[in-house]
Structure 1
Amino acid sequence: MKIEETHLKGCFVITPKVFEDERGYFFESFNQHVFETDTGINVNFVQDNQSMSAKKVLRGLHFQTGEYAQAKLVQVIKGKVLDVCVDIRKKSPTFGQHFSIILDDKNRKQLYIPRGFAHGFVVLENNTIFSYKCDYFYNNKNEAGIIFNDKTLNIDWGISENELIISEKDKLLPTFENLFNLI
């Protein structure tokens, strides 16, 4: 597997080595030893989550606060998404910057998102199955988020806003400026 750091420190794109033949394919989706050696990060995943979504569903931007912050390893099992993470570590030189990548069942890439990042994705194909590992358990009292169409972040989701399917909860998330008292 190939592991490359993005311009956001601690955030990595992982491209597996895929073996394909007439029977199908095989690849190692995670190897803790290789991950630790190549990134210098010791991670212990404790929870796996999966969602299935229709085309144009946008989920995010979500994160957990305080001691419940989570690092995530995200991938698409079936379908295609535009995946986005935002650095919300106030002392980071890339605070407020984002990274986006297409994850799908063809490139089989994964994105490692460290603690201190908000995360979201928009679905580009119907019946997309999205999977992610977390290094801490979900705690609803510490969940938080940033509105998807935040003007400061200026994320291009690739789909016009009036076409997006967004939960009522996600439509009410605060702006980046309000969340971090930057006004």
Structure 2
Amino acid sequence: MHVAETAVPGAYVITPHQHRDDRGSFYESMRADTFERMLNEPFVPKQISYSVSRGNTLRGIHSAVTPPGQAKYVTCVRGALRDIVVDLRVGSPAFGRYHSAVLDAASGVSVYLPEGVGHGFLALTEDTCICYIMSTMFVPGTQIDLNPLDPDLALPWGFTEAPLMSEKDTHAIGLAEALSTGILPLWRPA
């Protein structure tokens, strides 16, 4: 697999080497040894979740307070989506910067997000399914939700009509308010 760092420190795009023949294809989506070399520490999955979305559904920007924090490995397993990772770590040299990538089931491309980084996506097809492999289990009350349409973030979603959004995401706070409340995680250099 090919691993490429993004503009967000510690966030990576992982592109598998696919073996194709007349029957279809085979590829390794994740390898512990590759992750340990990349992160200089083990990534131990504690929870695997799936999200299924209608086309033009916008979800995010979501993160978790630290502790407990939550690193994520995300893969589109059906359909296609625009995936956006945002550095929310106060003091990070990339604070507020983002990385955008199109993930689709055919490519097998995945994105790894370290703790303290926000995540959201726009479903580009009907019945899009994303898989999250997470370093911690969900703990109620620890989620950080930012409005994905916050003008301070100015994220390049690329939709042509108003997206479908949850009430929670529609009414989530913006980056400036999150910063002023002190809920955002602190940057911890490696």
Please give the per-residue CA displacement for 1:28-77, whole angstroms capped at 9, x wherever unaligned.
Answer: 11101012123424211111010111100011011111212100000101
In structure 1, the gaps of 5 or more residues are: none
Q: Distance in 2 between matches of 1:35 and 1:124?
A: 28
SS in 1 for 2:25: strand
Q: Distance in 2 between matches of 1:143 and 1:89?
A: 14
State whether residues 103 and 110 of structure 2, in contact with CA within 8 Å, keep that contact through their aligned partners in structure 1.
yes
Q: Which residue of the partner structure matches residue 163 of structure 1?
A: 162
- Which range is displaced more, 70-79 or 17-26? 17-26
SS in 2 for 1:141: coil
Q: Which residue of the partner structure matches residue 25 of structure 1?
A: 25
> Is 1:127 aligned to 2:100, yes or no?
no
SS in 1 for 2:141: helix
Q: Percent identity?
A: 31
RMSD: 1.3
Aligned residues: 181
Q: How does 1:1-183 map to 2 (within 5 A)?
A: 1-160=1-160, 162-181=161-180
SS in 2 for 1:55: coil
Q: Distance in 2 between matches of 1:142 and 1:39?
A: 24
State whether residues 68 and 138 of structure 1, in contact with CA within 8 Å, keep that contact through their aligned partners in structure 2.
no
Q: Distance in 1 between matches of 2:5 and 2:39?
A: 8
Q: Distance in 1 between matches of 2:150 and 2:123?
A: 19
Please give the per-residue CA displacement for 1:130-163, whole angstroms capped at 9, x wherever unaligned.
Answer: 1010001101211121101111110011104x52
Q: Distance in 2 between matches of 1:97 and 1:180?
A: 15
Give, as a single letter, the amino acid of the residue that structure 2 aligns with 1:71: A
- Which range is displaced more, 171-180 or 63-72? 63-72
Q: Which residue of the partner structure matches residue 186 of structure 2?
A: none
Q: Distance in 1 between matches of 2:17 and 2:149?
A: 35
TM-score by length of 1: 0.95
State whether residues 7 and 98 of structure 2, in contact with CA within 8 Å, keep that contact through their aligned partners in structure 1.
no
State whether residues 70 and 114 of structure 2, in contact with CA within 8 Å, keep that contact through their aligned partners in structure 1.
yes
Q: Distance in 2 between matches of 1:80 and 1:165?
A: 16
SS in 2 for 1:163: coil
Give, as a single letter, the amino acid of the residue that structure 2 aligns with 1:49: S
Q: Distance in 2 between matches of 1:41 and 1:101?
A: 25
Give, as a single letter, the amino acid of the residue that structure 2 aligns with 1:66: T
In structure 2, the gaps of 5 or more residues are: 182-190
Q: 1:92: how far off?
A: 0.5
> CA separation of 1:143/1:38 partners in 2, compared to 1, >3 Å: closer, same or farther?
closer
Q: Distance in 2 between matches of 1:176 and 1:2?
A: 32
Please give the per-residue CA displacement for 1:74-103, whole angstroms capped at 9, x wherever unaligned.
Answer: 010110000001101111100111111000
Q: 1:8: how far off?
A: 1.3
